[in-house]
Structure 1
Amino acid sequence: MALKLWKDLSTLDFENLDPHNTVALLPLGAIEPHGPHLPMSTDSLIAESLCQLAAELVPDDINLLLMPTSEIGKSTEHSCFEGTITHTAHTLLDVWMEIGESVAKAGIKKLIFFNAHGGQPQIMEICCRELRIKFDMLTVGASGWSCGSPEAEGIPDDERRHGIHAGQVETSIVLHLRPDLVKMEHAQNFEGLLKDVEARFEHLRIIGSTYVGWQAQDLHPCGCSGDATLATAELGKIYTDHYAKGLANIIKDVAEYPLEWIRSRADWQGVQKVERKA
């Protein structure tokens, strides 16, 4: 592993970086409620931890720069709960665009956004596209769920579909990473809107291709969805290891991606002129 922390490098270090073989990795989290049993930092903790664990699995010949975690995300859907710290969607897009621009100015052309908060993938996708357009960068958006789910026993089908926030899996991951932050005596089965919508409607879903706009209090009075009482640290380790391995594979793919495949407008216009002459 050739992991370096962005914040620990000097200007000389940046001058000597190889843009073709350097990957910047930006963990994206949030500071928002995760029920009475998990900390506000849950998403940021998961994003940063998975990036650190994935870095240990990356080959030594890849120069990986771990950036400071973007801890404050777009959590307006949780704004009625005390403790939420949030940007608006527009502000967060501006923040990430400016971070991406700083990466480009440092001479680095490959940037991975790794997100652990379900309320901001759309912003991440727009940001990746805009950075590609403006700076000819290879920008990749990923998350734990990009890696699929591991084979694990003890997760009911309902929980796999409905446990989207502070449920069995997320609580298990925090139990594995930081058990001191989990108050299992306050864990509940936060059953609510997702199950009701699925039972009543054929097409509408809270999460899916045809989705309803929602706020956290719509899901459940505690703003959660899923059965946290089923959580175990052992299950958390299974998911953590699976996600870290998946992210490591994404990092390897990005490192191998040829920058020549990123065509500038001038390159494309040149191709068109040649074709017209032919």
Structure 2
Amino acid sequence: MEYSWEKMTAEQLRERAGLGGLVLLPVGSIEQHGPHLPTGVDALLATEAANRVAAQLAESLSVVVAPTLWWGLAEHHMRFGGTLTLSLPTYHAVLRDVCRSIMRAGFTRIAIVNGHGGNISALNAIVNELTAELPVTIAVTTYLTAAADDVADILEGQSGVMHACEGETSMMLAAHPELVVLGRLSDAHGPECGLQSDNVPVYLWRSFEEITESGVAGDARLATADKGEKLLAVCAQRLADLLAAPETWHRNATIDRQAAATSVGS
């Protein structure tokens, strides 16, 4: 079954919308990923994850994968070169217009599938705003989060996916091996670090260049295609299970209504 928006006719999309279809909207970033990976890793892997989720969901519900929004918020990578970034107001405006277009095509549920850590805080806030503006249900997830425990079990040298690391490099070896520069894997390592806002009592913006000279956080030398396939498979399975569960959407709708009531009463 076809589920890529750009490969379907308008008639086919209207039919999916009429069946209460769910639209997956992959979002990523174009930014440096060390000496061994292409700049499009986050967009490529978000797309791969969304397609795998759709393949599983298509057996039980109507689903469409929208074209990937490859741009994102990557100011912290700009000093390395090779990076494209948007300002926050532009990113908000682009997402608003895309979600509004999806709504006008007849769909009422959108799940933004994110592949870039630098987008997370902004996406959470933007989805709050869009939910208030548009009469559709919008969810956001970073595809790795639903399977965090499984990811930790698969990786050998890290507790989670970092940047251009064992995890991301393994997934690229599984999904796009032709884009991995194998001859530079020996240089693809750096200090371990998670999101800059994780467990930090006072947050300050930092360039990624201040964290790692190589542009890598973690150790890509441990990457294998087998690990990558396992990571992609379990992330897709866990996320598909969540998105297929009625309580996922019901709980969000309940929270939205409670938030709206509180706002009106304050």
TM-score (norm. length: structure 1): 0.81
Contact in 2 for aligned 1:110/1:254 (Cα 8 Å)? no
Distance 1:253 1:86 in 2: 34
Range moving further from structure 2, 75-84 or 255-264 = 255-264
Match of 2:205 in 1: 213
Match of 1:246 in 2: 238
The residue correspondences of 1:45-194 to structure 2 (distance < 5 A) are 45-147=44-146, 148-150=148-150, 152=153, 155-156=156-157, 159-160=158-159, 164-187=162-185, 188=187, 190-192=189-191, 194=193
Matched to 1:244, the amino acid is A
Number of aligned residues = 256
Percent sequence identity over aligned pairs: 23
Structure 2: tracts of 5 or more residues without a match: none
TM-aligned CA distance change 1:261 to 1:118, over 3 Å: closer
Distance 1:208 1:260 in 2: 24
Higher helix share: 2
Distance 2:198 2:155 in 1: 24
List structure 1 segments (4+ residues) > 6 angstroms apart after TM superposition: 262-265
Deviations 1:223-274 (A, max 9, x none): 2211111111111111111111122113313698359947789x969xx9xx
Matched to 1:209, the amino acid is N
Deviations 1:153-202 (A, max 9, x none): 5613xx226x511111111111111111111321235333749xxxxxxx
Matched to 1:216, the amino acid is F
Q: Which has the larger radius of gyration?
A: 1
Distance 1:189 1:10 in 2: 43
Matched to 1:149, the amino acid is D
The CA deviation at 1:100 is: 1.0
Q: Root-mean-square deviation (CA), in Å?
A: 3.0
Deviations 1:195-226 (A, max 9, x none): 9xxxxxxxxx8341324422110111122211
Structure 1: tracts of 5 or more residues without a match: 196-204, 273-278
Distance 2:27 2:64 in 1: 15
TM-aligned CA distance change 1:234 to 1:15, over 3 Å: closer
